Structures are given as C-alpha cells and as structure tokens.
C-alpha cells in the first residue's frame, strides 16, 4: 500500500510539473503584456523598464527557471495588472469562491439528488417526465442567462436582492474573528449567484442520480432483496441509495472544484470577487503570473482530489492497488 | 413686510457667507527666479475656508478591474483612469481644476525662465501628508528623482540638477530648454507632479505603498481588495476644503449591464461609460441623471496608405470613405444622438485644437453619390475590396455600421473583431501592426497633453505608433519641436491638424460622449449636478472633494 501511495504521489507531482510547464508556455503565446501596460505611443525606454521590472527581458529558459525557483518557495510572482503579490491576491479571493462554490454545490445537491431519485423511483411516470424536463432545462439554460433573469426579477423589478458583489464581509487570514463570521454574513448577496451557478449543475446531478439509481434498482442483488420481502422503503434507503451514490459523489466532488475555480461567467455578471474573475482579468490583460498562479492552484486542487480518491480506492478495493 | 425684511437679511447673509467660504487665493508673490520669465497662465486655487462636516457614502463603479498600481504616482502610466485615484489620495503641484487646465494646488507659485532652462515652485505653507508629516520640497525632489512612469526618460534626460532652496522653494535646472515642462509636469498629463511622501514610501516599499498608500489629497486610503474595491475616507485637514462626502467606495465593474443594474437597484451612485443598447434604458429611468461628458473624437486611419499599391494612396479614395459615412446615424445609434458630428480628430477641449464644428474646419459631409463620383475618377470606378475594417473594441456594432456605409458606395471589406488587448497591441505598433495596406482602423484616444500629444503619437514618422508619415507634416513638426515661441508652436500644431484633415489622412466621425450616470443619492437633486464635470479635459468628474451626497441612513 505504501508503494502504491508513493507511486500515486509521484504521478501527481509529474502531473503538476507538466501543468506548470504547459501553462508557462501557453500563456506566453497569448501576446505581449508590455504593450498592454505601456499603451499606445509609449516611449520604448519606458517599455524596456517595464519589461525589466517584470523579468520579461530574460531568455525564456531563465524566466522558466526563475518561475520554478520562486514556485518552490511558494511565491507565484507579482501580478502585472494588479501590481501586488499573486499569492496574496489569490488567497484574498479564495474564500469568496469557496463560499459561492459551496452554496451552489448545496443547491445542486438539494435540487438534483432528490429529484433524480424521484425520477428513478417513478420511472416513466408524470414525476419522471417532470424530472427529465427540469434536467433538460437546467442543462440547456446557461448560468449567465439564469443570472440575468434573476437580476431583472429579484434585483431590479422586485428590489429584494442586491445584484453586485458579495457584501461587506471578508475573510481576513490575519484576523481569526472573521474566519467563522464570514460564512454567515451577507447571505442576501449570495442567493442569486449561488442559484445561477448551482442551477446548471443540479440538472447534471439529477441526470446522474437518476441513471445511477435505475442501474442499481435493476441489479440482481436488489431483486434478491425484494424477493426476501424487504419493504420497498428499506430497499431504496438501505441498499439502492448507498450504492447509487458512489458515482454521484465522485461527480459532485469534481463539480465542487469546478464551481470554486471556474465560475467565471457568474462571477463577472454578479461582480463576485472570486478566483474565476481573477483568471478572466488575468487572461484579458496578459497577466502571466496571475494566470499561472490561478491555473496552478486549480490544478493543484484537482490533482489533490484525484490523489485522495486514488488512495481511498486503493484502501477500499485491494484489486486496484495490487494491479498497479 | 417683516417676512420680506427677514428674507433680505437672509439673502445678504448668504451672499456674505459665499464670499467668505470660497476665495480665489492670490498670495503676494516674491519672485523666485531672476531675469526675464516666461508667461505662464496658471489659475489660483479656490480655497473654501468654512469647514462643513463630511457626510454620506458615494459608491462609484469603475469600468475596469481596479489596479492597486494606480495608487502609486511614481509608476504612473499614461492611462488617464489613474488620475481618478491621484485626485483622491494625492495632490499635485499644479493640476487641472474647474477654473483652469493649469491651477495651483500644492504649489502657490510657479515660474519659468524665458529661456526655459529653469522652473521654480513655491509650496503653500503648512502642507502635510495624511500621517501628519510635513510635505516639503525634499518630497518634491525625491518624487521627481524616483519617478519611473510615462515620460520619465524625458524628465531625466532634460534635468541637470534640482536645487532645494528651502522647505517651500525648489528650482529645477535643465540641460537644454524644456518648453513642455509645465505642460508635462501638470497633474493632468503625467504622474511626476503628484507628490509622494518619501519617508513613508521608503519605509513600506513599492508593494507596501500600493497596498496602503498615503498622500496629501482630500481622501485617506482605508482599505482595498485588489481588483475589486477600494475605500477612501474624507481627510478633514485637506488644505483646500473639507471634503463634502465622508466615504468614497470604488468598485471595479467591467460589465456594462452590471453597472446599469447596480444603478437601478441603488447599489451604485455613479457609473462611467454608458453606451449602446443600454443607454436608452438609463436615460428613461426617472431616478437616474446623466451627463454627456464629451471626451474625444472617433476617427479612421489607413495603415500603409502611403504605399503606391494601396487603394487608400489616392486622396480621392480616402475622401470617398469620408463621404460614405452617415455620421449622424452613427451618433444616433451609438449615443442616442448626443454625439456630435465633428470635423477634427482631436478633441476641442485641447486649447491648441482646431475646431471641427464648421468654423475652423468644415463639418464632414455625408454624400454617398458624391463618394461614388469620387471613386469613379480613380482606378476603382466600380469600387474595390479592402481587407479589414478594425473597429475599436468593444464598439463592434459601430464598426458594422461603418462597413455597411462603405459597402453602399462600393468599398467592400470585412470586419475584423479582435479582443481588447490584441487591438491595443496592434495599434501600439502603428502602421507595422497591420499587414498589407488595405485596412481601415477605427480609433479614439482621450490623450492629455494638448493636440501635440496625439500628433506626436499617430502622425509623425518617428513615433513607434506612427500611422501617418508625410514630409510636409514632418517639416512643421520639426519647426514646432525647436520653436521657443508658444504662439508659434500653437500655430504650427494647428497647421498640422489642417493638413491631416484636408488630406484625409485622418477621417473624423463624431465627438464621443463618455456618458456618466448618477443615482438619487447624489446632491444637488435635479439639475445642477453637472458642475462635477466642470474640470476641463477631464474624462472623469474631478476633483472629488466637491462631491456631495445625502447622509447615510
């Protein structure tokens, strides 16, 4: 098992190194950030000074070595556009993304899983048709559209909910009193963006829960349980639900990471200060360090999640760790 | 009778109060420099002696993500948006104010020798930074010497040495005549005149300063979330007056729809850059008020026009392009008709601009038939295909309309939609940014520094962003660069503008309104709020200390 974990850890490190290298190269193909900062007609000497300040005057391999060297010390560099440390900006934004992502995640689970179960249990009935319709609408109505409709109805017409930003609360790492209060304040600001983000994923959750449940309900061991005369309620709650949840939870975990890291459109529409908007701004402004930092952190989360899942699978199923 | 008497007393008291509250400051000025002096037209500051109490919160939507770098004048770019933050936290020696483009601010006196080899300033007495430390000429000198922003090389190259006479008096000595010094040192043009506290900057460093700056401006920096929000609070000891609004919150909101929604829900009090399809919605909202805030002129350029195989090499073709454009319709579609058809590519707010309203330069004509006739006289009697029409981003709708107008007279091309950074990167290379010589570029550039600034960028051969390179213009430009006579310089700059327009090297379209909108919390209610836009050549409503809002509930 130890060897298995070490091999998986090595794979994860290689994946991260590849990611770092690819993003380092790709972001440099997007254009020249100096022209962005210097603006039209800038003195070439002034542009050279900016280039030097940003370390872009060095050869590519030197830039890469410097980037990796700093990275190993936990330094993502300085944002070209926002002029401060990428790490500081990222960790200032991360709690906002986590708050939005978790709320959207809860909405997607609360809406998607029960409806998916209901659809599976009442397959080919009116309930199932309603469930399928909700899933279809959820998957085909993009989050930005839902967001705009919500803004018009609940923000502008009814005036019930604020439309901009996350409110005044902030999680400040140096201030422990905010670590807890942050999550429970400014809920009104959270409702619309969380719903707009969670809505799409609830459709997907509904579909995967329904198909997982149907698979399990049609399996031999469920037939056996039923033959034994176990009440249907127990069949569903104790035997079917548990087993059908394995793919749902795996999918939900990945969804959560996506919601935290790449809710770009929703963040832009609601002016929600999350990491997705950082990535958007970084790409728009050719802010290499920012793009590298945000992509690296997202990749790190995914790699860590996959590593954890691999290790858990190894524990749960000895065939997996023995076969590798 | 008694009522009338009381009303008269009240009226007189009000007049007396007004007289004492606001006074143009004219200190007795002992000369600093000896010998003949250049004539400078710098207006006196208006100091409001009565101290009111700041109240309320003004929430502003900036239409970009916020850059903490904007809080540091030492790295001042050309971007005019940064000056919004200069006017909040910092203060300049001289800067544009409602009473004039050059107005005394930290300095109460400025002189320049007639040979333009020395410039001197005297600071007003008792100046200090937000932390209570005195602002002296040592800070002025340090700011100049450590400035790394736009024009820094020019300022460095021209400087011989700086002489600090005393805490309030400073003299800049130049190696050669520095005619543009006062123009460029003005806070409306570069960052070098916005004075940074040396003691604090050296203590906290560059990043520390950007994260938490202090200055000598009307508002103290309180907090920020990089890119998202900045909060400022009124500084009661500002020398000119106590700011009227207690708290100013600036939010970075790049999406127009989000800004409009924020205004409609009352989460925002001031938002910039309303345009296109959402503009009518704002105009129809009874709770919102708007100002046109004319800034710069939309215009077209023809990269590579001077190459013989370019269709735009022929002046008549360029003229046909101009005749084909229905500017009135464009202005109506893009700006609800408040944009003004204009005959010069340089904004009339520049003191040395030639007026394009039909008085000094004719209003451009819309005449498709004449355009066809012009084309018929050229090598292209049946029109021709050009490669790309590159509109300024994100004004793609406007680009489509121009392309349609051109197609109607036989000038057929496609719209090239590029994203903002790519557009800026290309245009920054001038003619070299566009392969081939069959492209039309649409641009707008609210550049400070007078008409000479855009000319020096787009219309002279030596600029890295040059689109026009013509011997007659070069000759005039060379004379301008060597002339020490301000009147002659203005004359030469105006002559260049006329060549550019009459030869159709630049094809102006309309004077663009950069519409700003305020919500119901902004005072005064109804009309009268337009005074916040009185500062000449300012695309934003500076200065901030005069802004009034209702008290917070």
Of B226, B428, B447, the CB nearest to A82: B226
Degrees, nearest 5: CA angle B352-B353-B357 = 145
A150 at interface of B, judged by CB pairs closer than 8 A: no
Of A35, A43, A162, the CB nearest to B425: A35
* 3-class secondary-structure state, position B442: strand
In DSSP terms, B411 is beta-bridged to B384
Residue B273 Rama label (left phi>0; alpha psi -120 to 50; beta): left
Of B226, B463, B465, the CB nearest to A84: B226
**B114 Cα to chain A: minimum distance (Å):** 28
Residue B35 Rama label (left phi>0; alpha psi -120 to 50; beta): left
Residue B259, C-beta contacts closer than 8 angstroms, at least 6 positions apart: B61, B63, B253, B268, B271, B272, B273, B274
What is the separation, in whole angstroms, between the first and last Cα of chain A?
A: 10
Q: A interface mutation test: which of B230, B261, B288 has the most A CBs within 10 A?
A: B261
Cα–Cα distances in Å, from A263 out to A21, A102, A203, A298?
24, 12, 16, 12
User: In degrees rounded to 5, what are phi and psi of residue B297?
Assistant: -105, 135
- The answer to whether residues A272 and A265 touch, using CB atoms and an 8 Å cutoff, is no
Residue B321, C-beta contacts closer than 8 angstroms, at least 6 positions apart: B300, B312, B371, B406, B411, B440, B504, B507
User: How many other C-beta atoms can be found within 10 angstroms of the C-beta atom of residue A253?
Assistant: 16
**Average pLDDT, rounded, for chain B:** 91
Cβ–Cβ below 8 Å for B69 and A83: yes
Cβ–Cβ below 8 Å for A277 and B261: no
Closest CA to B353 of B220, B229, B452: B452
A156 at interface of B, judged by CB pairs closer than 8 A: yes
Q: Provide the pLDDT for residue A243.
A: 79
**Chain A residues near residue B253 by CB distance under 8 angstroms:** 164, 271
**B191 Cα to chain A: minimum distance (Å):** 14
Query: Which residues of chain A fall below pLDDT 70?
Result: 37-38, 316-317, 319-324
User: In degrees rounded to 5, what are phi and psi of residue B180?
Assistant: -85, 5
User: In degrees rounded to 5, what are phi and psi of residue B172?
Assistant: -95, 125
3-state secondary structure string across B7-36? HHHHHHHHHHHHHHHEEECCCCCCCCCCCC
Q: How many contacts (CB atoms, under 8 Å) link A and B?
A: 140
Supply the DSSP symbol for A238.
I
Cβ–Cβ below 8 Å for B72 and A83: yes
A residues 223-242 near B, CB within 8 Å?
none
**A166 Cα to chain B: minimum distance (Å):** 10
Question: What sign for the dihedral angle of Cα A281, A285, A291, A293?
Answer: negative
**pTM, entire model:** 0.86
Report CA Rg, chain A: 24
Is ipTM beyond 0.90? Answer: no
A159 at interface of B, judged by CB pairs closer than 8 A: yes
Q: How confident is the model at residue B6 (pLDDT cuts 50, 70, 90)?
A: very low
Tell which wins on pLDDT, B55 or A321. B55
Of A39, A89, A148, the CB nearest to B77: A39
Question: What sign for the dihedral angle of Cα A127, A133, A134, A139?
Answer: positive
Residue B548 Rama label (left phi>0; alpha psi -120 to 50; beta): beta
**Chain A residues near residue B148 by CB distance under 8 angstroms:** 49
The 10s digit of each residue's pLDDT in B312-356 is 999 999 999 999 999 999 999 999 999 999 999 999 988 899 999
A residues 252-291 near B, CB within 8 Å?
268-271, 273, 277-278, 281, 284-286
Mean pLDDT of B51-79: 89
Residue B82 Rama label (left phi>0; alpha psi -120 to 50; beta): alpha
Longest dimension (CA), chain B: 86
A residues 33-72 near B, CB within 8 Å?
35-46, 49
Report CA Rg, chain B: 25
Q: How confident is the model at residue B185 (pLDDT cuts 50, 70, 90)?
A: very high
A291 burial type by CB count under 10 A (0-12 exposed, 13-18 middle, 19+ buried):
buried
Q: For A86-90, A270-274, B235-239, B253-257, which range has the lowest pLDDT when averaged over its residues?
A: B253-257
B306 burial type by CB count under 10 A (0-12 exposed, 13-18 middle, 19+ buried):
middle
Cβ–Cβ below 8 Å for B425 and A36: yes
A110 at interface of B, judged by CB pairs closer than 8 A: no
């Amino acid at each position: 098992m130890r060897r298995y974990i070490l091999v998986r850890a090595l794979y994860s490190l290689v994946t991260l190194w590849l990611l770092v290298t690819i993003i380092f190269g790709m972001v440099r193909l997007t254009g020249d950030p100096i022209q962005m900062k210097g603006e039209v007609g800038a003195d070439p000497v002034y542009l050279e000074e900016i280039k030097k300040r940003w370390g872009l005057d060095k050869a590519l391999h030197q830039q890469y070595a410097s980037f990796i060297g700093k990275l190993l010390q936990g330094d993502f560099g300085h944002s070209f556009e926002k002029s401060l440390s990428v790490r500081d900006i990222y960790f200032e934004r991360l709690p906002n993304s986590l708050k939005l992502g978790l709320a959207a995640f809860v909405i997607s689970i609360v809406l998607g899983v029960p409806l998916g179960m209901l659809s599976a249990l009442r397959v080919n009935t009116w309930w199932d048709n309603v469930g399928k319709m909700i899933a279809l609408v959820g998957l085909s109505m993009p989050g930005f559209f839902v967001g705009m409709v919500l803004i018009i109805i609940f923000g502008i017409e009814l005036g019930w909910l604020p439309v901009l930003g996350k409110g005044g609360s902030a999680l400040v790492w140096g201030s422990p009193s905010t670590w807890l209060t942050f999550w429970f304040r400014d809920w009104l600001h959270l409702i619309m963006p969380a719903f707009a983000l969670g809505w799409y994923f609830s459709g997907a959750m509904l579909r995967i829960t329904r198909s997982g449940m149907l698979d399990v309900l049609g399996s031999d061991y469920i037939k056996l349980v039923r033959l034994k005369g176990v009440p249907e309620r127990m069949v569903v709650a104790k035997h079917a639900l548990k087993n059908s949840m394995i793919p749902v939870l795996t999918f939900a975990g990945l969804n959560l990471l996506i919601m935290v890291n790449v809710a770009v459109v929703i963040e832009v529409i609601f002016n929600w200060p999350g990491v997705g908007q950082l990535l958007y701004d970084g790409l728009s402004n050719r802010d290499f360090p920012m793009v590298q930092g945000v992509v690296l952190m997202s990749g790190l989360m995914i790699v860590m999640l996959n590593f954890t899942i691999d290790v858990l699978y190894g524990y749960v199923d000895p065939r997996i760790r023995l076969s590798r | 009778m008694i009522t009338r008497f009381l009303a008269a007393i009240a009226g007189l008291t009000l007049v007396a109060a007004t007289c004492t509250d606001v006074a143009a400051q004219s200190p007795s000025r002992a000369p600093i420099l000896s010998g003949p002096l250049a004539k400078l037209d710098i207006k006196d500051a208006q100091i409001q002696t009565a101290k009111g109490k700041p109240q309320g919160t003004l929430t502003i939507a900036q239409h970009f993500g916020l850059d903490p770098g904007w809080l540091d004048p030492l790295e001042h770019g050309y971007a005019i948006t940064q000056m919004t933050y200069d006017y909040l936290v910092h203060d300049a020696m001289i800067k544009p104010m409602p009473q004039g483009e050059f107005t005394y601010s930290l300095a109460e006196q400025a002189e320049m020798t007639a040979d333009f080899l020395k410039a001197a300033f005297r600071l007003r007495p008792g100046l200090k930074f937000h932390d209570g430390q005195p602002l002296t000429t040592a800070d002025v000198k340090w700011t100049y010497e450590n400035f790394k922003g736009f024009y820094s090389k020019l300022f460095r190259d021209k400087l011989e040495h700086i002489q600090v006479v005393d805490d309030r008096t400073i003299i800049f000595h130049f190696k050669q005549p520095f005619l543009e010094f006062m123009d460029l040192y003005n806070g409306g043009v570069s960052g070098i005149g916005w004075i940074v506290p040396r003691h604090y900057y050296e203590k906290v460093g560059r990043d520390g300063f950007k994260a938490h700056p202090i200055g000598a401006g009307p508002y103290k920096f309180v907090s920020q979330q990089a890119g998202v929000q900045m909060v400022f609070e009124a500084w009661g000891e500002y020398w000119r007056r106590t700011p009227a609004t207690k708290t100013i919150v600036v939010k970075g909101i790049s999406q127009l729809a989000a800004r409009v929604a924020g205004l409609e829900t009352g989460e925002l009090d001031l938002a910039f850059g309303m345009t296109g399809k959402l503009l009518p919605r704002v105009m129809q909202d009874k709770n919102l008020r708007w100002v046109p805030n004319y800034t710069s002129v939309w215009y077209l350029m023809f990269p590579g026009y001077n190459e013989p195989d370019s269709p735009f090499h022929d002046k008549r073709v360029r003229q046909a392009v101009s005749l084909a454009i229905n500017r009135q319709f464009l202005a109506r579609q893009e700006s609800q008709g408040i944009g003004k058809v204009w005959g010069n590519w340089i904004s009339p707010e520049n003191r040395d601009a030639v007026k394009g309203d039909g008085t000094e330069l004719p209003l451009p004509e819309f005449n498709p038939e004449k355009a066809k006739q012009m084309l018929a006289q050229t090598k292209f009697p049946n029109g021709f295909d050009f490669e790309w029409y590159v509109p300024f981003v994100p004004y793609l709708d406007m680009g489509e309309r121009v392309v349609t107008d051109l197609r109607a007279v036989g000038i057929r091309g496609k719209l090239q939609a590029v994203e903002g950074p790519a557009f800026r990167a290309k245009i920054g290379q001038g003619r070299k940014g566009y392969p081939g010589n069959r492209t039309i570029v649409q641009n707008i550039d609210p550049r400070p520094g007078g008409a000479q600034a855009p000319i020096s960028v787009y219309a002279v051969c030596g600029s890295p962003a040059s689109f026009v390179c013509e011997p007659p213009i070069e000759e005039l430009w060379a004379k301008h660069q060597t002339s020490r006579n301000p009147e002659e310089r203005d004359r030469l700059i105006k002559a260049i503008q006329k060549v550019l327009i009459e030869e159709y090297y630049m094809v102006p379209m309309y004077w663009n309104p950069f519409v700003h909108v305020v919500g119901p919390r902004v005072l005064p209610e109804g009309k009268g709020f337009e005074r916040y836009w009185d500062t000449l050549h300012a695309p934003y409503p500076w200065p901030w200390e005069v802004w009034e809002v209702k008290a917070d509930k």
